[in-house]
Structure 1
Amino acid sequence: MASVTSLFAPVESDLDLLAQNLKGLVGARHPILFAAAEHLFGAGGKRIRPAIVLLLSRAAVPGQDITPKHRRLAEITEMIHTASLVHDDVVDESSLRRGVPTVHSSFGNRIAVLAGDFLFAQSSWYLANLDNLRVVKLLSQVIMDLAEGEIQQGLNRFDSSLSIEAYLEKSYFKTASLIANSSKSVGVLSQLPEAMIDQLYDYGRHLGLAFQIVDDILDFTGSEDVLGKPAGSDLKSGNLTAPVLYALKEHPGLSTLIEREFAEVDDFQQALELVYQSSGLQRSRELAADHARQAADCLQHLPPSAARQALYDMADYVLRRIS
């Protein structure tokens, strides 16, 4: 199976440059924030979001080099993503992320909240300096969406009446909005026709939803070594995802266990078994595959190139994580 990094071959040197620039962008004025940023940007993330921006930038106008504005867009995308992770980890009280201690477990909650705020503020400043009002609006919307997704997730804890539609909306806010709107921004910066700009947005939206659904499947099927947390962590914290929502349709008794927040001794174990016995995981796989297929369809009008091929392969890669 091709690793995600080999998918990024067409933009490998662009990603190296991005990694160097990110640390510089945060600046060394605040030693503790700089330490937090170094810690974050050095934590070996897959850099999937900026890679998509860079691949789309190359695919949109093959044969031309990526402009400084496209590069800055990729950096801003990773900054927004990283800021959201810092805040997510504080909200979720996670002690590890990618096997590395989280910012708040290394530096304390106060610094983690400030580091997340600082990264959002920095990304907004660099965004404004792109001097493209339309792109500013698209990525400002993302920052609002991230907060909206986190709020929805908090409000809907242990709510077994949650619909698949509401789950997909929250997944859009939390994951797909950033990929969709940064993809759309590539089209805007590349001055593509409106119809193609919309297709880049749809590529990012479907890919982002597939990603989130796959992550939610892995929460039940991945090993603790890979996930860095025990199976069913989302369910235990009351975050009901696609596999659980589908399982609820087949096993109404599951809602009793969820609504009482696994208060009895065997409740959680029983709930996990009901999810595994149901077709919830299979139906979630089909849902993810459907979104990955729709993402790939959105690339048809881009001219053939190595970058376009990598973007097609990205849709396959998402699904291979659960095959």
Structure 2
Amino acid sequence: MLSKLAWKASRQLSVNLNSRIAPILAPSATHRSQRGICTTPKVQERLATKQVQKHDWNRAVSEAEKIVGYPTSFLSLRWLLSDEIANVALHLRKLVGSNHPLLKTAKNLLYNGKNTMQAWGLIVLLISKAAGHAPTIPDMEQDKSAGVLHSQRALAEVTEMIRISHLVHRSLVNLQRGTEAERDTSTYGDMTFGNKIGLLSGDYLLGHSCAELAALRNQELVALMSSAVRDFAESEFVGDRDEQNNPLPSKPDPENRNKRVEDVDFNDDKILDPYDIQSVMGIPEKEWELRHILSAGSLLGKSCQGALKLAGLPSDIQRRGYLFGKHLSLAWQTCIDMEPFQNPSSSYDGTFSLVSAPVLFHLEYDPSLYDEIEKGKVSVENIDYKKIHAEVLSGPGLEKTKELQKKHISAAMKVLDEFPENDARQALQNIILAMQDL
């Protein structure tokens, strides 16, 4: 009975996927020349001018999935048909109609469109295939049809499980005594129940990812990925927060306007050492980099580095994997940050991250806007988001964010140029180019 259900679910998943992703047409000769392998001198040229034909995100991801064998999301049949995930889904239905943040997180995981979070495992596998592996790797450890190792597939799944567990844990609502959430008795029961489901679901994914990671039997890899989990936790304690732990930007410091700070990154030899957070607070670009390296870039970068470690490649090549993952993650984040500001003709009635790049850059340009943000010390719901949205659109924040995106895309492309020419490298370049059009 279970096998028949799995077969039906597989067919339905395939139908849904095919109906959503357009058929992949053979590119013309002109288009092939436009998408040629990128070399370092051409990177700036390709980023400076948009190509006539826009790169389609879904198409780029779909082609990349074929290169490494199959869609890599942890939301696979093996997970969807497990008893644990089925129970979580049943309990989530009880939250429908409430405003618990866990529902929004679940929706984004399943229907997240162009900013798909499930592509992280795909990136790890693509960089694994692009770099290749040492000749000493035994044949039985290789998936020769896809050009990656079985251990690298396991690491890709671990990466997504850790990522999703972090997002689920961030959906918890602060119900401690004295907060507005605790005093709202009409929704207190829903919030408490949602917290229990979020906590248990996140812990289950994180615990299972630790077991999968330990099964790879590589102490250096365990230490590397553990430091990424540590960075996640540390990201939740950067700067000021409201009562619900929503991040607030640091108050602009005029003395920091011309202050030179080295690039935000971690010590290669001491990956477990924390970063000096206070040295970058109040400096918009560096504060933004620190927040998002800790919350996302560290995991993707160290996962790519770990995949090349499993391949038995030298440390300098492993370092390239880390840099590629870090810069790609930051470029990805700029797309997410710019999305609420992409349509200036319409009024904005939602919320957005107050530590997004456009807001931080605008605060540097106009520190007086911080008076409005200070109203959110108790709750960000006290902030007039429409006012901040309009102010940001009238200033240089969005343009500076686009420059920041180009900077990290260019850095990721430059790292890719150091890998051998193959279909996996080309697929990564196509994903990056498609990212510019999001």
TM-score range, shorter chain: 0.7 to 0.9
- How far apart are 1:56 and its partner, in Å? 1.2
Is 1:261 aligned with 2:315? no
Decide which structure has the larger Cα Rg and report it.
2
Aligned partners of 1:213 and 1:242 also within 8 Å: yes
Is 1:14 aligned with 2:96? no
- How far apart are 1:55 and its partner, in Å? 0.8
What is the aligned counterpart of 1:121 among 207, 229, 235?
207
Distance 1:20 1:91, change over 3 A: closer
- How far apart are 1:300 and its partner, in Å? 1.6
Aligned partners of 1:59 and 1:308 also within 8 Å: yes
TM-score normalized with structure 2 length: 0.61
Distance 1:17 1:197, change over 3 A: closer
Is 1:294 aligned with 2:349? no
- Counterparts in 2 of 1:65-80, with a 5 A limit? 65-80=147-162
- How far apart are 1:86 and its partner, in Å? 1.0
Q: RMSD between aligned alpha carbons?
A: 3.4
**1:7-40 alpha-carbon deviations (Å, 9 max, x no partner):** 2324336333655757349953685247679x78
- Counterparts in 2 of 1:179-258, with a 5 A limit? 179-221=300-342, 233-235=351-353, 239-258=354-373
1:151 counterpart SS class: coil
Structure 2, gaps ≥5 residues long: 1-53, 93-105, 134-142, 176-189, 242-246, 253-281
**1:171-220 alpha-carbon deviations (Å, 9 max, x no partner):** 11112111101110111011112111111110001111111122111132
Structure 1, gaps ≥5 residues long: 94-103, 224-229
Q: What is the distance in 2 between the residues matched to 1:307 and 1:176?
A: 21
Amino acid at match of 1:88: R
Report the counterpart of residue 81 of structure 1 in structure 2. Answer: 163
Q: What is the distance in 2 between the residues matched to 1:4 and 1:110?
A: 36
- How far apart are 1:317 and its partner, in Å? 2.3
2:420 counterpart SS class: coil
- How far apart are 1:270 and its partner, in Å? 2.8
**Which 10-residue stretch deviates more, 192-201 or 17-26?**
17-26
Q: What is the distance in 2 between the residues matched to 1:175 and 1:299?
A: 20
Aligned partners of 2:362 and 2:395 also within 8 Å: yes
Report the counterpart of residue 226 of structure 1 in structure 2. Answer: none
1:233 counterpart SS class: coil
Distance 1:307 1:91, change over 3 A: farther
Report the counterpart of residue 28 of structure 1 in structure 2. Answer: 83
**1:89-121 alpha-carbon deviations (Å, 9 max, x no partner):** 23599xxxxxxxxxx98x722011110011011
Aligned partners of 1:26 and 1:119 also within 8 Å: no
1:90 counterpart SS class: coil
Identity across matched positions, percent: 27
Aligned pairs, number: 301
Distance 1:92 1:288, change over 3 A: farther
**1:153-180 alpha-carbon deviations (Å, 9 max, x no partner):** 6645253333221221011111211110
- Counterparts in 2 of 1:139-218, with a 5 A limit? 139-152=225-238, 155=241, 157=248, 159-161=250-252, 162-164=282-284, 165-218=286-339
Structure with greater helix percent: 1
Q: What is the distance in 2 between the residues matched to 1:267 and 1:74?
A: 40
Is 1:305 aligned with 2:384? no
Report the counterpart of residue 110 of structure 2 in structure 1. Answer: 43
**Which 10-residue stretch deviates more, 286-295 or 147-156?**
147-156
Report the counterpart of residue 57 of structure 2 in structure 1. Answer: 4
